[in-house]
Structure 1
Amino acid sequence: MTHLTSAAAVLAVLACVALMGFAIQRGGTCTVAAVEEVLRQRSARRLRAMGEAALWVAGGLALAQVAGWTGVMPAPHPVGVHTVLGAALLGLGAWINGACVFGAIARLGSGQWAQAAVPAGFYLGCLAAGLLGPQPVAATSPPPSLLPQAPLAAGFVLFAAWRLARGSRGGWRAVAARVWAPHAATAVIGLCFLLSWLLAGAWAYTDLLAALARRMASHPALPLALLTALLGGALVGGWTAGRLKSQRPTPAQWLRSLAGGALMAVGSLLIPGSNDGLVLVGLPLLHPHAWLAFGVMCTVIAAAMRLAQGLKAPVLRGEKLQ
């Protein structure tokens, strides 16, 4: 993230991040849950909502470009075997944990304390990977030309107007509900992330953990404050929704979450980027590596679920026969 010189800007970013955490918890935002919904309910509602979050970010960036904002954009990374391998590890880690990095925040906000091992495992995974060799530094590129942004900005204005009009007919009641609809939650996530991006530059909470592990954070207090705000928002979301119920984790749950977080860390370093950065940064900027990685991640999660279900079926049939 870029250095923030204004106290007001810092407070604004922290407020946006806290509201993101609130929305993540209220909407139960999670890639694992989205894939499971596709397999069990034949519905892509959650996946479409994630795509809509990326659309809000992309459209907002286009408007900012047309308005003359000249921030530096993250550059795409090369696509190769490392992209696929990293995405596979990212998906496997999310499946082992039972939730992706988004879902871990949502579950923490519901009192599932085992999910605290996910950021811890992610940090340790980045730390271990750093000991093995230097990790790639995120590249940047100059802002794109205003010419191709104008049609996208115009289309986004129409899309936003349609969404607001639809919400005025009753859809925004979901915002006041205890459990938000996926589209309502991801719209808030996308807009809050966009505002924090415009104020402080592109970021993802997993990137903050990686920077802290590699001691690359020039101002470590800010990443820690952002992580605290994100978790605090999720806890407030769970508490106000009546979903914050303390659940004492078992050693096996701690181990799964720790291992899942570490695997997701290694995978994100190979891609590079975890699913929060892929959805909110890579997809909106149309980075090929992000689209490929997110697709592979979802495919691996689906394959792991199918395999686990197939292994359970013979056991269940054996129990019935007895």
Structure 2
Amino acid sequence: MTSFSIIPLAFILGFALVRAVTCTVAATMRWVSEGRRDWLFGLLIVAAWAGVVLFLLLQYSGRAHIPVDIVIGWPLFAGAAIMGVGAVVNKGCFVGTVGYIGAGKFSYLLTFVGLALAMLVLRVDFFQLAEPIIFKPRVAVEDSLYKQFMVVAFLILASLSLYFIIIKRDMTMLALLAIGVTAALIYGTRPEWSYAAVLNSLLSGQGLSVGMAVELAVAALFGGAIFSSWLKNKFRPQLGTMKMAFANLIGGFLMGIGAATVPGGNDVLLMWTIPGLTFYGIVAYLMMIVTIAVVVKAMPLMTRIMSRFQNQSATAE
């Protein structure tokens, strides 16, 4: 695959993201509030198809870019938790943010402004990580029982999704399949293609990629999302409230801070790191989901406490 082939793939990825719920925050809130795990299952389907494609690319081409595992320590757990809090504040993870922008909610552009601010803050020596990220030697699939189990699990989930697509005519499953396949092909070709990588490159003064392939792919991602929403008559351009804009900015900032210890952030975890059979990817993603669930559960309690405190203050006055 050439570098420019990621551009149409990114457009398809953006298009498919609008056709299925792949936002970790929305999926976790649905599970916590309604007891329904169907959207979380959809995230497994995305990871499964991405994993199958990455595995096939590695086995039969030998040219696929595969993520390297890292040593698990407290910074990973802290970073994943911070990403979870940031995602709740933002009311959407980075994947969900693409879908919201595609629907015309342009205050979510501030999520990436917050991400850029986090990158700038982390460049200051005072805010450097106390413990550097330690990478582990890569272990082949045939030499790791864990990786063999993951490959089998991915194959089972992918086969199950084919059943829903072919027998049940489930178009949402088809969109999830498209997300997983296109994401794996893109990351397997150019792992540095993402908007976070583009921001980091610009902020560090490295400039644009050769032929602007990466930048065009990022534009195609959002273009595909907008086009998909427009076809569904769901594209409603709006700037949103100041409160929402502030939440997007802070949410993006927190997710950017968390991503400093969880390489790539939550979108890369789902579409490349976990499919690439890393153990830290699963640990970090589960930590993020648990954090989101705890925060969502605690929010009504905090609201009641604040309301009671305000009532007591008003009575005292």
Counterpart of 1:209 in structure 2 is 199
What is the distance in 2 between the residues matched to 1:80 and 1:261?
Answer: 24
Aligned residues: 303
**8 Å Cα contact 1:59/1:152 also seen in 2:** no
Counterpart of 2:43 in structure 1 is 50
- Give yes or no for the alignment of 1:171 onto 2:164: no
C-alpha change, 1:159 and 1:273, in structure 2 (3 Å) is closer
With normalisation by structure 1, the TM-score equals 0.82
Counterpart of 1:296 in structure 2 is 287
C-alpha change, 1:169 and 1:206, in structure 2 (3 Å) is same
What is the distance in 2 between the residues matched to 1:157 and 1:93?
Answer: 32
What is the distance in 1 between the residues matched to 2:223 and 2:134?
Answer: 28
2:140 corresponds, among 144, 153, 165, to: 144
**8 Å Cα contact 1:77/1:272 also seen in 2:** no
C-alpha change, 1:153 and 1:279, in structure 2 (3 Å) is closer
- How far the C-alpha of 1:186 sits from its partner, in A, is 2.5
What is the distance in 2 between the residues matched to 1:208 and 1:51?
Answer: 27
C-alpha change, 1:29 and 1:160, in structure 2 (3 Å) is closer
1:98 corresponds, among 83, 87, 91, to: 91
**8 Å Cα contact 2:116/2:256 also seen in 1:** yes
What is the distance in 1 between the residues matched to 2:104 and 2:65?
Answer: 38
* SS across alignment from 2:64: coil
* SS across alignment from 1:248: coil
C-alpha change, 1:64 and 1:202, in structure 2 (3 Å) is farther
Q: How does 1:21-40 map to 2 (within 5 A)?
A: 21-40=14-33
Residue type of the alignment partner of 2:215: L
Q: How does 1:190-209 map to 2 (within 5 A)?
A: 190-201=180-191, 204-209=194-199
Counterpart of 2:225 in structure 1 is 234
**8 Å Cα contact 2:7/2:217 also seen in 1:** yes
- Give yes or no for the alignment of 1:254 onto 2:245: yes
What is the distance in 2 between the residues matched to 1:199 and 1:247?
Answer: 35
Gap runs ≥5 in structure 2: 312-317
C-alpha change, 1:109 and 1:74, in structure 2 (3 Å) is same
Counterpart of 2:112 in structure 1 is 119
Gap runs ≥5 in structure 1: 1-7, 175-180
- How far the C-alpha of 1:92 sits from its partner, in A, is 1.0
**8 Å Cα contact 1:23/1:189 also seen in 2:** yes
What is the distance in 2 between the residues matched to 1:124 and 1:225?
Answer: 23
* SS across alignment from 1:277: helix
- Higher mean alpha-carbon deviation, 157-166 vs 220-229, is at 157-166
**8 Å Cα contact 1:118/1:258 also seen in 2:** yes
- CA RMSD between the two structures: 3.1
C-alpha change, 1:67 and 1:286, in structure 2 (3 Å) is closer
What is the distance in 1 between the residues matched to 2:136 and 2:208?
Answer: 17
What is the distance in 2 between the residues matched to 1:169 and 1:260?
Answer: 40
- How far the C-alpha of 1:46 sits from its partner, in A, is 1.3
What is the distance in 2 between the residues matched to 1:83 and 1:248?
Answer: 34
**8 Å Cα contact 2:64/2:189 also seen in 1:** no
C-alpha change, 1:305 and 1:144, in structure 2 (3 Å) is same
C-alpha change, 1:114 and 1:195, in structure 2 (3 Å) is same
Among the aligned pairs, what percent are the same residue?
22
Q: How does 1:265-280 map to 2 (within 5 A)?
A: 265-280=256-271
C-alpha change, 1:209 and 1:39, in structure 2 (3 Å) is same
- How far the C-alpha of 1:142 sits from its partner, in A, is 6.0
